[in-house]
Amino acid sequence: MIQRIGRRRAALLVAAAAATGMVVSGCGDSSGDGSGDGDKSIAVSLITKNSTNPFFVTMQQGAKKAAEAEGVKLTVAAGKEDGDEAGQVQAIEDAIARGDEGILITPNGPGVNPAIKKARDAGLYVIALDTPPDPANTVDITFATDNFKAGELIGKWTATQLAGKPATIAMLDLFNDKVVSVDYDRDQGFLTGMGIDTADKKKNGDEAKTGSYSGGSYTIACNEPTNGAEDGGRTAMENCLTKNPDINVVYTINEPAAVGAHKALQAAGKTQGVLVVSVDGGCDGVRQVKDGVIGATSQQYPLKMAELGVQAIKKIANDGEKPKVSEGLDFFDTGVTLVTDKAATGVDSITSADGAQRCWG
């Protein structure tokens, strides 16, 4: 890795001598002249899915803090919205052109994979955050929540809370026009936690629409995309209620979608007896648990992902030491914890008060 970065860096410095300088917005230590002190010339790009979701805003804040602490030059970019692959591709191209040592990215979909390959071929070390690409070896390593486990935790909790009652389930996913690992891992993890047989664990919506879960019978009323946004969650829930007004379980890809779903349920007078579950664990989401809007959420840790990513690229650039995946996984697991005020037997969890001590955003 030292040789890979070193050769690219040297070539870029030669080219820079014959070119006019560029000013790049960012933070961290930009005082280095590249004359031998690697710590002062390390540049990293963080490319998030968007800059509006509190999860990614927190990730950006964490990366900036880590960059300042580590003396790393950080450039922050993002797609315009969840699913904006073109915006992320442009940000990757920009990182290559600047001669960054590495990229941290929450990929918006498989459309960014060729650009990631181009970056790695150019000598950049690429770390995915939060969302492992498919295939996983598209990047050098991923730092992420075990999203399947996150879904499984809220699925097990839901099955326990139902106590044998029939489940009429709304599945409010991320997309319906592209395949992203975070989307199918959480969806399929939730169904697995419920005790529902899944067909292809990398495909949403191909399970039997009726059957048995671990406590009784189930019906899947709908699979609707939310784009991970509150308005998308509301529209998706409205569509689901049109298909089946008797929904009593709502799985949501994230907490903004859960809030939107709750507003749709509220407008329809359908909140009573409905379990809404989600994934994120942001401070607003934890408050929604406390207020009873969300029954349980799987808390993840974007600050940790961002900090570890910045530190890893600095270490790689300095001495070539690469991070390693967690045992038994193809990524580094940054942890997940179920947050609920209705503890379920056999499912480890913390209260919303404890979750508030660990939350972000």
- Provide mean pLDDT across the span 6-17: 39
Give the span between the Cα atoms of 304 and 190, in whole angstroms: 24
Residue 28's pLDDT is 54
For the stretch 285-295, pLDDT in tens is 999 999 999 99
In angstroms, the Cα distances linking 180 to 47, 82, 330, 345 are 16, 11, 16, 32
Does 135 score more than 60 pLDDT? yes
For the stretch 237-251, pLDDT in tens is 999 999 999 999 999
Residue 41's pLDDT is 79
What is the pTM for the complete model shown?
0.86
Top-confidence residue, 108 or 33: 108
Determine the residue type at 200. Answer: D
For the stretch 292-325, pLDDT in tens is 999 999 999 999 999 999 999 999 999 989 999 9
Determine the residue type at 137. Answer: N
Helix axis angle, 283-290 to 255-267, nearest 10°: 40
Residue-averaged pLDDT of the chain: 91
Question: Per-residue b/e over 235-252, b at no fewer than 16 CB within 10 Å?
Answer: bbbbbbbeeeeebbbbbb
- Provide mean pLDDT across the span 332-355: 98
Residue 39's pLDDT is 45
Residue 11's pLDDT is 39
Helix axis angle, 302-319 to 54-70, nearest 10°: 30
Percent helix, strand, coil in the chain, to 5, is 45, 20, 40
Does 19 score more than 50 pLDDT? no
The secondary element (H helix, E strand) that includes residue 32 is: none
Does 360 score more than 70 pLDDT? yes
Report the sign of the C-alpha dihedral through residues 357, 78, 131, 236, in that order.
Answer: positive
Domains of the chain: 43-145+302-323 (3.40.50.2300), 147-299+337-357 (3.40.50.2300)
